[in-house]
Structure 1
Amino acid sequence: MKLLYAGSALLLIAGCAPMPQYEPPANGPQAQIRSEMDALLSRHNYIALSAAPTIACKYGRSVPVTPERQLFSVRGGYPTEHQGFRAIEAGKPIRLVLEGAATAQRRCSVEFVTEFKPGARYVVKGGISDGPTVISSCQINIVDLDTGARLVLAEQTPANNCALDRLSMPTP
């Protein structure tokens, strides 16, 4: 019985492990980015911007080969981490994920691909938005601070076309 309790406690602790923080490649080109995201003023609201896991083709199936890595997070309208600029990989496409949660178990998620210019500075604006026509959706804009231009946010590309991903089961 003690083993059952010990195992349960271990699972609870492991489930609360923080998401790894984003670190750009050391020798590659970099840009600077900071957050002005808003999760609205409720202690139940949460929004986070992360670098999506890297997906590769292994054994004929698409699998994540690196974990999701968090850039910024905001809880209840207050930033929880990284209030200033931080480095992000530049000069090649990067897949990002914006995820939010609000009261009444409302959730939103936006996945996109973008590319940062080496040496440029950006600000992330957006977060959870509520209003008369919108109920808890995620919105995001990334603005180049030097030019004022919005960064293009493209939809993510489909899976890696691994062999097992393309299989379809026969219909009865």
Structure 2
Amino acid sequence: MKSRTYDYVVLNACLLRARVEAGTPLKVKPDEDYLIHLSRACIINGKEGETALLDVTVDGKKFVIGYLSQEKIPQINLDLIFEKEFELSHSLERGSVDFTGYQTPDGDEDDDSSSSEDYYTSSDSEEEGEVMVHSTITANGSAGASASSVARPAEGASVFTLRMDVDEDDSADD
């Protein structure tokens, strides 16, 4: 059995949930220098057999972003990112749709005091510029990584590390 541990960073993310009632569009505006990421939509108390088209309006343009059905497709995953005001609506005659997601700082800020290096582990030494490729069996059949299995980033490239530890239970049941 494998046990996995993931190291990751959450950057000032704020969870968000918005319930859009039938016939009542909802305007949503991200805070200044923030983005809103919509990740899921779920139908709530829809009429049996009724389907819902999910719409978003941005800059006066209306887009269909999904389709829900109480019986067959009660929820869908979304991957929508908004940097300015938008409006959510749906076509249900009664019932509502819950949208969930999160608000996070805009990563494209021009502020030099805030950079991605503040949030991720990076290589401090340009001379170290090596990324170890972990392998249990190499081309010659011996354990460990050989010198040829060490990847080097392109000159001037930033190296960021995301650690993932995998613990394997090697004990055999007798």
TM-score, structure 2 as length reference: 0.30
Which has more helix, going by share of residues? Answer: 1
Bigger radius of gyration among the two: 2
Higher relative contact order (CA 8 A, sep 6+): 2
